[in-house]
Amino acid sequence: MSFLSRIGFIETEEQEQSRLAQAPEGSLNHYLSTLPVTIDEWPKDLLVELPWRQPRSDQAYRVVVVPIEFRKDALPESVEEEPLPRKRHAGSWMCAVVFSTHPSYPASGFRIDVPAAEIARGRKIDLAEPAA
């Protein structure tokens, strides 16, 4: 647990998992609540395979992206300062799709927005290692 989580500045992994699990069953956030965080580092420019397995969809797909630009979640107009604890993985990444077996997400640089919580639960791909 990080120092910022211990002092209550950022939500813990358990708090994030609980928050995501409150989303309706069948939603992306509810699905993400069932997965562990696998990428703790800043993901910009990494190759990340998104978690796209059942029950998220009826078929397993492989979608590999490169996070390019981070976009922080906007605060509601009625809130001047972000409430504590701050959300872990709050925001989204504009990503380039570099490989995909999903018919809606063509490779070769197609751009998609991916929640930061989904990127954090993806699989980092290291080109120096053989493919799994």
Q: What is the average per-residue pLDDT within 39-56? A: 88
Q: According to the model, what pLDDT value does residue 57 have?
A: 74
Question: What is this structure's pTM?
Answer: 0.84
SS3 per residue for the chain: CCHHHHCCCECCHHHHHHHHHCCCCCCHHHHHCCCCCCCCCCCCCCEEECCCCCCCCCCCCCEEEEEEEEECCCCCCCCCCCCCCECCCCCEEEEEEEEECCCCCCCCCEEEEEEHHHHHCCEEECCCCCCC
104, pLDDT greater than 70: yes
pLDDT in tens, 72-82: 887 777 767 77
Looking at the chain, the whole-number percentage of residues with pLDDT higher than 90 is 49
55, pLDDT greater than 80: no
3, pLDDT greater than 70: no
